[in-house]
Amino acid sequence: MADEDISVDEINMEADDRMEKAVDFLKNEFRTIRTGRASTALVENLKVDYYGATTPLKQLANLSAPEANLIIIKPFDISCIKGIEKAIMASSIGITPNSDGRMIRLAVPPLSGERRQQLVQQVKKMAEEARISVRNVRRDANKQLEQAQKNKTITEDQRDDGKKEMDELTKGHIASVDKILKAKSDEITDI
């Protein structure tokens, strides 16, 4: 679709969708951040070399967290246990796998106060990156609105209304990022 035929609503809908994707990406990234509790999200997307193909762990095994400090990995094919252990050791989660040949246990140690603060700083940085992504979408949409007005496909009033709506969308998505950040920070600092 050429820029000339884009309406204010289409520009704003596309921008809203892109902003929502930035927020969703942040949510998924936060799921991989370790807190004091065991969560299968910590390992489910680890890439395991399985017969020459890099495969997410969640496709190779049942994952469960039966206790607050334990993750259990039961591979569908026990021949891939060594590959799973290797992937866990190579990851940045900092947990050593314990295998009995049929399943792998990951004992999630409690976080130190210093480590909790490091994780809080890490999630704040990730949230700021998400806010920047949302603002970049706003900037791009405003440029599209300006161009559409220059091309005389929308009026100045429509452009201004579109920019106001864009600002409201931006505020809403940044508020979502802040809410997600607060929840994750509280989860990390909760002992």
Higher pLDDT, 170 or 43: 170
Rg (CA), the chain: 22
Close Cβ partners of 153 (under 8 Å, ≥ 6 residues apart): 4, 5, 6, 7
**If we measure between CA atoms, which residue out of 35, 45, 30 comes closest to residue 130?**
30
Mean pLDDT for the stretch of residues 12-25: 94
Question: How much is the mean pLDDT over the chain?
Answer: 87
Close Cβ partners of 28 (under 8 Å, ≥ 6 residues apart): none
**If we measure between CA atoms, which residue out of 97, 76, 75 comes closest to residue 85?**
97
Close Cβ partners of 111 (under 8 Å, ≥ 6 residues apart): 34, 35, 36, 119, 188
Q: What integer pLDDT is reported at residue 94 of this predicted model? A: 75
User: Contact at 8 Å (CB) between 104 and 88?
Assistant: yes
pTM for the whole thing? 0.70
Q: What integer pLDDT is reported at residue 1 of this predicted model? A: 39
Rounded Cα–Cα distance for residues 189 and 146 (Å): 45
Q: What integer pLDDT is reported at residue 5 of this predicted model? A: 60
Burial zone of 66 (CB within 10 Å; 0-12 exposed, 13-18 middle, 19+ buried): exposed
Q: What integer pLDDT is reported at residue 7 of this predicted model? A: 85
Among 18-22, 104-108, 158-162, 168-172, the minimum mean pLDDT is found in 104-108
Q: What residue ranges define each of the domains in the chain, with the CATH number in brackets?
A: 3-31+112-189 (1.10.132.20), 40-107 (3.30.1360.40)
Query: What confidence tier does 143 reach under pLDDT thresholds 50, 70, 90?
Result: very high
Mean pLDDT for the stretch of residues 167-175: 95
Q: Read off the pLDDT of residues 129-142 as tens digits, 9 standing for 90 and up.
A: 999 999 999 999 99
Strand partners of residue 61 = 75
Q: Read off the pLDDT of residues 69-118 as tens digits, 9 standing for 90 and up.
A: 888 999 998 888 888 988 888 887 778 888 888 899 988 877 788 888 88
Percent of the chain surpassing pLDDT 70: 96
Query: What confidence tier does 160 reach under pLDDT thresholds 50, 70, 90?
Result: very high
User: Contact at 8 Å (CB) between 188 and 122?
Assistant: no
Q: What integer pLDDT is reported at residue 191 of this predicted model? A: 62
Mean pLDDT for the stretch of residues 4-21: 87
